[in-house]
Amino acid sequence: MSETEADSPFEGEKAPASPRADLVTALVLFALGTAIVVQAWQMPRFVEQSGTGLTAPGIVPGFYGVVIALLSVLLGVRSIARGGWAKGGAATGSAADRRQLGTAAVLGLVYAGILVGRLPFWLASALFVFAFTAAFEWELGPQGRARRIIEAALIGLGTGVAVMLVFEKLFLLRLP
């Protein structure tokens, strides 16, 4: 059993991130959430075209920004309570943590920068969810890998179809 697994309350699970790492993450997420809210607030409201406040295009991103900012405050408070403000103990992560962060970043950039706009939105979303799920399930080892890949494909397909239905049937928006 590895050292990080020994600190976890659950067998085979990694120990939680250091309080300092959580504090740094909370600060970055708070800045991101605040920036999203500011940008959403600056979007046009179309009031001059008989639009209401509820039809403004900045409502959904603004809501997401508020949620990100509020959750980052909770993470920051928890981090400070666990000693994240104390001197010493830089926010370090293992090579596996950095690899996972890099994988998530690359997949997000491929999705937003390449897939969206070149493929139907539902298909781009389905491929992203499949790749993301498969990439992180792959690291769990070869035992049951085929089953996890099939599950990732089903989750991706289900997500793609659900995204399409929600946007087109509930929000009445045609997706690209």
How far does CA 127 lie from the centroid of its chain? 16
Q: What is the mean pLDDT of residues 57-76?
A: 91
Q: What is the total residue count of the chain?
A: 176
Query: Which two structure tokens, joined as six digits, stand for 55?
Result: 């039809």
The residues with which 119 forms a beta bridge, in sequence order, are 116
- Whether residue 26 contacts residue 76, with contact meaning beta carbons closer than 8 Å, is answered with yes
pTM of the model: 0.61
Q: Which pLDDT belongs to residue 50?
A: 60
Q: What does the pLDDT look like over 119-152, one tens digit per residue?
A: 999 999 999 999 999 998 887 777 778 889 999 9
Instruction: Compute the radius of gyration of the chain from its Cα atoms.
Output: 20
Q: Which SS3 state, helix, strand or coil, does residue 99 take? A: helix
